[in-house]
Amino acid sequence: MHLTSQEKESYEANGFLLKKGLVPAKDIGRIRQELKDIHRRMVADPPPDIHVAWEDEDASDESKIIRQLMHSELVSPTLNRILRSDALVDIVAELMHPQVALYHSKLLPKEAGIGAATPWHQDYAYWKAEGNLPLMINCQLAIDPMTLENGCLEFIPGSHRWGLQDHEQHQETFGKFLPGHYYKREEGVTVPMEPGDGIFFTSLVIHGSAPNLSPHPRWANTFAYNVPGNGERQEREILR
């Protein structure tokens, strides 16, 4: 039993759960070291299995900044170790299902003054496929302090109970977002985090984040997990 009944009830009611101090500071230091110069390295010599989305596709090579790096476990051995650690998988097993498969791991280095907003959305709008159910769960790990100023995550509590909403295709980013994209919502709850904190959230809870207009970077990594066999055409790595 790694979660209290109060924590589980809170997750059920809100669709998200913050765990302070999920990952020790020394691992956060290792991640920072492993990801040093990551923007330039991904321009110069991107490994074949890594998919990068840039903040500005048209920027010159010298100024290209990563918006999202998919398969971050391949560039950081520490992220690769953390995603399969008991500290995370035990919690996922309690919140999702006793059997746990890796869905993916992505780095979101929302750089100071550059990182764009992530409009309101439900992850299942991206992940819905024939034969799967919205069972997947995320854990976003804070690498930097995540604050109101640099665009920490925001959630609409309880919105995971509303079912999948209609999303619009956003032409600029090729993303799927709720109509209105990013605007302040009265019922939105911002969740600031310290490095090493992690927030678990369902694939149906509505969430987003403001742009990073601050002078401080906001690096985070989201690990996503699925129940083995939940609509996967090709089986991903089973962790438990």
Ligand X SMILES: O=C(O)CCC(=O)C(=O)O
Residue (of 72, 203, 19) closest to 129 by Cα position: 203
Residues 193-232 that bind ligand X (CB under 6 A): 207, 209, 220, 222
Q: In this complex, which beta carbon is closest to ligand X, that of residue 45 or of residue 143?
A: 143
Q: In this complex, which beta carbon is closest to ligand X, that of residue 16 or of residue 101?
A: 16
| Closest approach of ligand X to the CB of residue 16, in Å | 11
Q: In this complex, which beta carbon is closest to ligand X, that of residue 72 or of residue 222?
A: 222
Burial of 147 (0-12, 13-18, 19+ CB in 10 A): middle
- Of 72, 105, 140, 226, the one binding ligand X by CB under 6 A: 140
Q: In this complex, which beta carbon is closest to ligand X, that of residue 14 or of residue 138?
A: 138
What residues contact 169, with CB distance under 8 A and at least 6 apart?
175, 176
| Closest approach of ligand X to the CB of residue 5, in Å | 27
| Closest approach of ligand X to the CB of residue 139, in Å | 9
DSSP-based three-state secondary structure for 54: strand
DSSP-based three-state secondary structure for 208: strand
Is residue 173 part of the contact set for ligand X (CB under 6 A)? no
Paired residues of 66 in beta bridges: 54
Is residue 72 part of the contact set for ligand X (CB under 6 A)? no
The whole-angstrom separation of Cα 228 and Cα 225 is 9
Sign of the CA dihedral with 198 first, then 209, 62, and 173 last? positive
Q: In this complex, which beta carbon is closest to ligand X, that of residue 9 or of residue 113?
A: 113
Site pattern 89..128 for ligand X (x: CB under 6 A): -------------------x---------x----x-----
To the nearest 10 degrees (0 to 180), the angle between helices 86-95 and 5-14 is: 60
Q: Which residues bind ligand X (CB under 6 A)?
A: 108, 118, 123, 138, 140, 151, 153, 207, 209, 220, 222
